[in-house]
Amino acid sequence: MMGEEQSVLEKLATIDRRVLYVIFFVVLLLANVFKFSLPIVVHPEAKAVYDAIEELHEGSSVIYSCDSDIGGYSESGPPQVAVMNHLLMRPLKIIIVACGEPTGLLVALNVLRDVDQDLLNKKEYGVDYVLLGFLPGEESAVAALASTPFEKLFPFDYEGNILSELPIINEVRSSEDISLVLDAPYGDIAFWMRHWGAPLEIPVAFLMTTGYLPAVMPFYQSGQLLGMVVGSPGGAEYEQLIGKIGTSLQTTSIMSVMGLLCIACMICANVITFFRKEEKNKIGERR
Amino acid sequence: MNLIGDWIAALIFIIIMSYLFIETRFFKAITFVVIGVAVGHSAVVAINTIVSRCIKPIAVGNIAPIIPVIIGLLLFSQFSKNYKYLGRYPIGMIVGVTTGVSVRGMVETDLVNQIIATIKLPVNNISNIIFIICLVCALSTFIFTKKLSKPWSYAQNVGRCTLMLYFGWMFGSRFFMFTGILIDRFRFVLSVFGIL
């Protein structure tokens, strides 16, 4: 009512949201400054990807598709970098391609920039790994890659080299030579499963952001997906597995703190709403 | 060069975050810049793709790309009143090919294999039993042809609760996705300012 002083509950219920933003940023700042890391558990999904790469024979080929958007690289980058580090540790042939987003190429370049450069320098471009480039068409592109030799789809690689002149293409000509598919999806997630996993029975694993976990989990539980490395937590788990600890562990720990803060805010909001109703009922009864 | 780029990126982050407190002209300007960069990048990739996949092969005597080039050019007939109808053919081809490719894989992956996996699920632990109950109840929520009477309507209520749990999980996942992005960018800004 006009003229009445607001109760504490009323003030809390109508608190300016900018106060909450300030609290969140202060907590974020403190969590970054006072570095800490909480223990994490390696989930079976990430372990499955690790085991699959470990069990590949020498000279096996892996196709790594960067279909994710550059805007989400902060979250999707850590698992990709961790897995790429693992690929570089092993004697494998790596085909890097972008079929979804045009910015997938930028993601691929960022991943190659952020991996351990000592490991990358031990590999030779064109012999151990190649960046084919962007193939437009999303699902049509993935379907074409499954049924067409790579040379026909990519006459030139991303750096302008004639693909047929690169030694790697003599060993990895088409999908028949690929042993594992690693996809960093964005948007519709099932392209590679539909055209490589189910018909060709090539194992498919995802390196993705946390946001897609609910949509992807049914495919993992049904056995269609080999495994997945999910966001910064997945990146932290994978870094533990390969023994190369990066920033993912700290990010994951801060995510836990932010999550707890969010839960605390939700609980407070619901408690305040409950007691406000009680207060209003009491005021109503007095009148 | 990297130093200038890092400072620009940090400044852009602060301007964008300032939207939480007050909308400024700088924020609007940055949004236009982001849109411009995204469109520009897409345009460059599109032009590079056309040049590398069409122009270059045609230049060396491979005439096969001429047909898709002509079909692609028909899309521009949308700008003509008299020849607008020609644009329907390439659009029809794109929709047809995309749909055909999707449906071929979708039926096996999204439907058949998922149903087979559910049928094969062993009913020997509480988790699997709850899963099957929730699956059936969630599917019953989408029965619109007939209003289900009690006790079958309870299945729809359980199904709605299951769907709400899923949406809550989705929300939580999205929250953590954006939190992860924020944390990484915030750490980047702190490192640019020398705090970290």
Select from A210, A215, A218 the Cβ nearest to the Cβ of B177: A210
Contact residues on chain B for A255, CB-CB shorter than 8 A = 176, 179-180, 183
Peptide bond into B151 cis (omega under 30): yes
Q: Which residues are bridge partners to A237 per DSSP?
A: none
* CA pair distance B4, A149, nearest whole angstrom: 43
Whether residue B186 lies within 8 A of chain A, CB to CB, comes out as yes
Q: Do A255 and B173 touch (CB under 8 A)?
A: no
Q: How far is CA B60 from CA A160, B55, B56, in A?
A: 16, 9, 6
DSSP state of B105: H
Nearest to A223 by CA among A44, A62, A64: A44
The answer to whether B117 and A222 are in contact (CB under 8 A) is yes
In B119-138, the residues whose Cβ lies within 8 Å of chain A are: none
Residue from A105, A191, A194, A216 whose CB has the most chain B CBs within 10 Å, to mutate:
A194
User: Which residues between 4 and 43 in chain B have a beta carbon less than 8 angstroms from any beta carbon of chain A?
Assistant: 20-21, 38, 41-42
Residue A204: which H helix or E strand, with range?
strand A204-208
Chain B CB contacts of A28 under 8 Å are 182-183, 186
Report the C-alpha gap between A126 and A160 in whole angstroms: 12
Compare all CA atoms of chain A with the CA of B107 and give the residue at the minimum distance: A194
| Amino acid letter, residue A121 | N
**Predicted complex ipTM:** 0.87
Helix (H) or strand (E) holding A24: helix A17-33
B106 touches chain A (CB under 8 A): yes
pLDDT tens over chain B, length 196 residues: 578 999 999 999 999 999 999 999 999 999 999 999 999 998 998 898 888 888 888 888 888 889 989 998 999 998 999 999 999 999 999 999 989 998 988 899 999 999 999 999 998 889 999 999 999 999 999 988 877 788 788 889 999 999 999 999 999 999 999 999 999 999 999 999 998 8
d(C-alpha A6, C-alpha A2), whole Å: 10
Q: Tens digit of pLDDT for each residue in A70-127?
A: 888 999 999 999 999 999 999 999 999 999 888 899 999 999 999 999 999 999 999 9
Tell me which chain A residues have a C-beta less than 8 angstroms from the C-beta of B12.
none
Chain A CB contacts of B113 below 8 Å:
198, 222, 224
CA distance A59 to A43: 28
Question: Encoding tokens for residue B133?
Answer: 């109950």
Comparing C-alpha atoms, which of B144, B140, B135, B138 is closest to residue B159? B138
State how far the Cα of A64 lies from the Cα of A95, in Å rounded to an integer. Answer: 6
- Contact criterion met (CB < 8 Å) for A258 and B179: yes
